[in-house]
Structure 1
Amino acid sequence: MEYIFMAARWSHIIGGFLALCVFWIPIVTRKGRKVHRRSGWIYVVAMSIVSVSALYMGIYRLAWDSSFDADDVPFSWFLIFIAILSGGAVWYGLRVLRYKTRRIGHRKAMDLLLPILLLISGIAISIYGWKIDFPLLKFFPIVGVFLGGAQLQYWLSAPTRRSHWIVEHIIGMLSCCIATVTAFTVFGAPRLLQIESVSLVVWIIPILVFVPLIIGFTSYYTNKMDGKRSAS
């Protein structure tokens, strides 16, 4: 089990480093072009590796690691939650492209399961955070609650705008970017800087950076494809 954990850890480090290197390329390049698509797929593969390895490591530490420090339990739950959030967001970002021509509600279990899991885990982790008075777990899971609910609403309702698929694709992928950078500020940056922890303010910087990007991009494409009235 220890060898599997070490393999997962190195896969997580390599995948996370790759994701941090390429995530900005699809953001700044022209949408739909070759560079955007290829860099986007690299990011998807990297984040898939990160999500699976993070989920395994979080569960392993809670269930089987005998040398595990009790003080690290909240971070293990955060690792599990960020794995669900990032995996669910990148899956959602891909699947809305697959069904961009749909005209009715979507009921496929494989697309509803992750939003439901994200919604439930967000509520549960937030309650846990309040119970143990751990600020990161109190507030960050609210992002998952919001995203899980919004994704469920999108799938279960019929699209009313032509821009629905590209708007949801942007929301899914940039939400995954929030998870990528937040995980780095929580786990990677303190180790690189050799400090025990960083301020909660630093943890929420990715949200403060990417949410305006989401608003800006979605407003632009809604305006472009549906007209100014729909965008407003």
Structure 2
Amino acid sequence: MAIIYQALQYLHILVGAAALVLFWVPMAATKGSSTHKRLGTLYANAMYIVSVSGVVMCIMVLLAPMTFKPQLAELSGEQLIMTIARLRVFETFLLALSLLVFVSIQHGLLVLKAKQNRELLKTPWHLVSVMSLTLSGFVVLYFGLQQSHTLYMIFGVLCSVSGVSTFHYIFKASIKEREWVIEHLSALVGSGIAVYTAFFAVGGRHLLSELLPGQWQVLPWVLPGVIGGVMISRYKKTVNKQFKVQ
């Protein structure tokens, strides 16, 4: 099992690094062009690999932390119990981010396929995925409030709001003509926010701890969400103008 975990970790890191770069190419390409479609599909496939491997690894650690985190064997007693508790909270946070990536990609692609026909979005698998994201967001928010942890509070809200917003789009009485274009782009940008946040929270954490003191370490974790929000706002204006969303 440890070998499987390590293989998933290598796959997650390698494909995730490629996705960090690839994210910007379809975003910069002309919407609807062959480049946008081809590289957008490549990005989506990469993000599926990143999100699914992330979900599986998080669940493995949550269920058996001693098996997949051998450094815990050096601890004992109360220190071990407290470390495992903190680890499980952090893995729950990473699980929520992985679900945010997965649901964002899945929803974005389904919206593109469904267009005005939202019945295609009401499959049991998609609805369960969105519910899982929503619930994970509430759990992370609870941990954030309990521990006064800014990062967990911010992304607990982000994940839960993203899930609720997705449900709202699926079930609201009607949508505007071509509103699906905005929903598609917003979902894909949302996946980028999650993967960049995960990178800064895990891969870049040690580097950032040396460059940014104290609470300032939260800044690069929050920046992807801020930048992503600005991008979504900008794309909404562009899409409204280009596609004449009514």
What TM-score comes out, normalization by structure 2 length? Answer: 0.85
User: What runs of 5+ residues in structure 2 fail to find an aligned partner?
Assistant: 73-82
What amino acid does structure 2 have at the position aligned with 1:204?
A: V
Q: Which residue of 2 aligns with 1:101?
A: 116
Shift of 1:171: 0.8
Moved more, 142-151 or 65-74: 65-74
What amino acid does structure 1 have at the position aligned with 2:129?
A: L
User: What runs of 5+ residues in structure 1 fail to find an aligned partner?
Assistant: none
The CA distance in 2 between the partners of 1:10 and 1:57, in whole Å, is: 11
- 1:171-211 C-alpha deviation (Å, 9 max, x unpaired): 10000000011111111112456759871122100011111
1:89 aligns with 2:107: no
1:20 aligns with 2:38: no
The CA distance in 1 between the partners of 2:34 and 2:120, in whole Å, is: 31
1:29 aligns with 2:29: yes
Residues paired across the two proteins, number: 228
Tell me, what secondary structure is at the counterpart of 2:65?
A: coil
What amino acid does structure 2 have at the position aligned with 1:129?
A: G
The CA distance in 1 between the partners of 2:118 and 2:64, in whole Å, is: 47
The CA distance in 2 between the partners of 1:178 and 1:65, in whole Å, is: 27
The alpha-carbon distance between structure 1 residues 128 and 155, as it changes in their structure 2 partners (threshold 3 A), is same
Contact 1:105–1:157 (Cα < 8 Å) also in 2:
no
The CA distance in 1 between the partners of 2:90 and 2:177, in whole Å, is: 41
Q: Which residue of 1 aligns with 2:224?
A: 206
Q: Which residue of 1 aligns with 2:76?
A: none
Return the match for 1:131 from 146, 158, 162: 146
Matches within 5 A, 1:5-154: 5-66=5-66, 67=70, 68=72, 69-70=83-84, 71-102=86-117, 107-154=122-169
Contact 1:105–1:155 (Cα < 8 Å) also in 2:
no
Shift of 1:24: 0.2
What amino acid does structure 2 have at the position aligned with 1:13?
A: I
Moved more, 197-206 or 22-31: 197-206
The alpha-carbon distance between structure 1 residues 125 and 49, as it changes in their structure 2 partners (threshold 3 A), is same
The alpha-carbon distance between structure 1 residues 72 and 195, as it changes in their structure 2 partners (threshold 3 A), is farther
1:215 aligns with 2:233: yes
The CA distance in 2 between the partners of 1:87 and 1:56, in whole Å, is: 12
Shift of 1:105: 9.0
- 1:57-101 C-alpha deviation (Å, 9 max, x unpaired): 111222113134434333211111111111011100000011103
C-alpha root-mean-square deviation of aligned residues, in Å?
2.2
Contact 1:182–1:203 (Cα < 8 Å) also in 2:
yes
By percentage of residues, which structure has more helix?
2
The CA distance in 2 between the partners of 1:137 and 1:189, in whole Å, is: 17
The alpha-carbon distance between structure 1 residues 154 and 72, as it changes in their structure 2 partners (threshold 3 A), is same
What amino acid does structure 1 have at the position aligned with 2:180?
A: W
The CA distance in 2 between the partners of 1:128 and 1:16, in whole Å, is: 26
Q: Which residue of 2 aligns with 1:157?
A: 172
Contact 1:162–1:225 (Cα < 8 Å) also in 2:
no
The CA distance in 2 between the partners of 1:136 and 1:179, in whole Å, is: 13
Tell me, what secondary structure is at the counterpart of 1:171?
A: helix
Shift of 1:223: 3.4
Contact 1:12–1:50 (Cα < 8 Å) also in 2:
yes
Contact 2:208–2:217 (Cα < 8 Å) also in 1:
no
Contact 2:111–2:121 (Cα < 8 Å) also in 1:
no
Contact 1:54–1:83 (Cα < 8 Å) also in 2:
yes
Return the match for 1:186 from 171, 184, 201: 201
What amino acid does structure 2 have at the position aligned with 1:161?
A: K
